[in-house]
Each structure stands twice: as structure tokens, then as C-alpha cells.
């Protein structure tokens, strides 16, 4: 493990250098695309994201509007809960007839499927309404810890989002990035309620930002695997028809396009943070 921030910076610079050849080839593809569309205009940083999206449209046969029809919000939620229960040997039991702040909020207890120990609780508050916080996020309601009398205080969290509840009398549809975002945030919920910290200070999400985000970033990869996508999908007019394997592969290819450039951007952000924080020793 690196002892100083200088070592971390050296690691980032080394990784960036190893990506340079790949990133330059990818950048040349984008420059050529801009020349085809705009003539000999200079390629600037402001062009990067736009032409990555344009190149993705050319290279991946994926109809975003059609894909959306396979992600009714109710089916996404039920499939997501099933995936996390299977992955981590958990059991989610919905609690009915409990006082909540809105009638669309659902409450679940979380149990260890092997030991039947109660691990915690979470609230699903995912549907839009007037005056509600506008972003998708997780809020911790109670941290877990070991009490002085030997009992354990269990953690609790709520996931907030702004999903429309119905569309023309049917379950609303989610865009694929919204599916990934929900999955990411629910990973935080599972991280929080599953922890067994002795002290509240180190419970669940009460960590440095990087450590809190890593589990969710890793678990996002399940959103690009056919087995999990099929569990969270179903054509909105016939939910027995899950998303096709070809569409799953297209989503994965689209994610992996221009990976060198995307990673170089992430490294640049990390390096900038080190310098701006004056943490380079």
C-alpha cells in the first residue's frame, strides 16, 4: 500500500502513460469523424463527449428508444432486489402497514439468509412527487454499531429517486442510464445495511468517498451482463419477453468503446484532485 500521495501520483502517471497509445488511436477516430461532419475544424476538448456519442451511434447497433421499452420501473426494481439477494445471500422482507412519509414509500427488512440474523432496514422512495429532492441518492437514517450492553443497533437507509410512477396507465419506463444509476445507488444501500462495524463512526457509508463508492462502481458491472439484464427487463406490453442477448451485448460494447480515453479522463481528475488538495508530498 502506498505510504505517500506522491506514490499514488506516480502510479497514476504510469498508468496514464500505458494508455497513451490506445487513447491516441481512439482520439484520431474522433478527429476523423469531426472532419467528415464539419470539415477541417480543430478538435477541442469541448468536442470529446459529443463525438464519443456520435461514434457510439455508428459503431453499435442499438436503438435507445427500443431498449427503454424493456425496462418498466416495477420490473427493474423487483429484478434488482432479486439479484442482490442472490449475490449476497440476503433476504428482503417487505413490511406492510407501517407509518411512512408518503403512500408510495416501501419498507424492507434485510436478513442474513444463512443465519436468519436481522441486518437492517431500507426504504424505497423512488417515485417523483412535487417538492421532493430531485436527484437519485442514498441517505443513511441510522448507523449500525455494537452497543455497550452487547446488543447491536442495526443500520437503516433510504434510496431516493424521481421515477415516474405510471405512463398511460402502465408502469413507467426507465432509460438504461437510469437503470444503472438505480443499481449503483441500491448497491450503497446494501453496503450500508450489511456492515457489521463495531463503532458507528465506521458504519456502512461513513467512510472516505473513494471507499464508499468502490463497491457500487464494481457492482454496476452486473448491469451489463445478460443474466442480470434479463432478470431486470421485460417488454412493457409483455413482460415475459426479456431483453435480447444481442441487445445485452450491444450495451456492453457501447460501454467499452473508447475505454482508453475515458480512463485517461478519470486519471486526469484524480491527478487534479491531488494537486488542488495540496496533498502531493
Rounded Cα–Cα distance for residues 38 and 49 (Å): 16
In 3D, which of 84, 82, 92, 150 has the Cα closest to residue 120? 92
The residue with cell 422512495 is 125
* Distance (Å, whole) CA 228 – CA 80: 8
Report the first-to-last Cα separation within the chain, whole angstroms: 16
CB 68 within 8 A of CB 51: no
> Which residues, including other chains, have CB under 8 Å from residue 103's CB and lie 6 or more apart?
none
**Nearest residue to 156 via CA among 234, 95, 71:** 95
Q: Which one, of 193, 176, 169, lies nearest residue 232 by Cα? A: 176
Q: What are phi and psi of 127, to 5 degrees?
A: -95, 145
Question: Could you count the other beta carbons within 10 Å of the beta carbon of residue 131?
Answer: 5
Can you point out the beta strands (E) in the chain?
90-95, 106-112, 118-127, 137-142, 145-146, 152-153, 156-163, 166-167, 170-171
3: how many CB neighbours lie within 10 A of its CB?
8
Cα–Cα dist 177/159, whole Å? 17
Verify whether residue 185 is a known catalytic residue: yes
The active-site residue, picked from 94, 130, 166, 185, is: 185
Give the active site residues: 185
Amino acid at each position: 500500500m502506498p505510504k505517500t500521495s506522491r506514490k499514488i501520483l506516480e502510479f497514476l502517471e504510469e498508468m496514464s502513460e500505458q494508455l497513451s497509445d490506445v487513447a491516441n488511436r481512439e482520439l484520431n477516430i474522433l478527429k476523423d469523424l469531426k472532419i467528415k461532419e464539419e470539415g477541417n475544424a480543430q478538435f477541442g476538448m469541448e468536442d470529446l463527449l459529443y463525438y464519443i456519442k456520435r461514434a457510439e451511434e455508428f459503431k453499435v447497433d442499438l436503438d435507445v428508444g427500443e431498449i427503454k421499452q424493456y425496462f418498466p420501473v416495477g420490473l427493474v426494481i423487483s429484478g434488482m432486489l432479486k439479484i442482490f439477494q442472490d449475490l449476497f445471500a440476503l433476504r428482503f422482507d417487505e413490511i406492510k402497514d407501517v407509518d411512512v412519509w408518503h403512500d408510495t414509500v416501501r419498507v424492507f427488512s434485510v436478513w442474513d439468509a444463512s443465519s436468519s440474523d436481522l441486518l437492517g432496514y431500507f426504504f424505497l422512495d423512488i417515485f417523483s412527487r412535487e417538492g421532493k429532492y430531485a436527484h437519485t441518492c442514498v441517505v443513511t437514517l441510522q448507523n449500525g454499531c455494537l452497543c455497550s450492553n452487547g446488543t447491536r443497533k442495526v443500520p437503516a437507509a433510504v434510496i431516493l429517486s424521481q421515477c415516474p410512477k405510471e405512463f398511460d396507465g402502465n408502469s413507467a419506463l426507465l432509460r438504461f442510464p437510469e437503470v444503472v444509476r438505480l443499481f449503483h445507488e441500491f448497491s450503497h444501500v446494501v453496503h450500508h445495511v450489511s456492515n457489521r462495524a463495531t463503532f458507528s463512526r465506521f458504519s456502512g457509508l461513513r467512510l472516505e468517498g473513494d471507499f464508499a463508492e468502490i463497491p457500487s462502481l464494481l457492482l454496476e458491472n452486473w448491469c451489463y451482463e445478460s443474466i442480470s439484464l434479463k432478470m431486470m427487463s421485460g417488454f412493457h406490453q409483455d413482460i415475459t419477453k426479456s431483453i435480447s442477448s444481442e441487445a445485452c451485448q450491444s450495451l456492453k460494447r457501447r460501454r467499452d468503446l473508447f475505454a482508453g480515453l475515458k480512463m485517461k479522463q478519470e486519471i486526469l481528475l484524480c491527478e487534479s484532485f491531488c494537486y488542488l488538495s495540496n496533498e502531493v508530498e
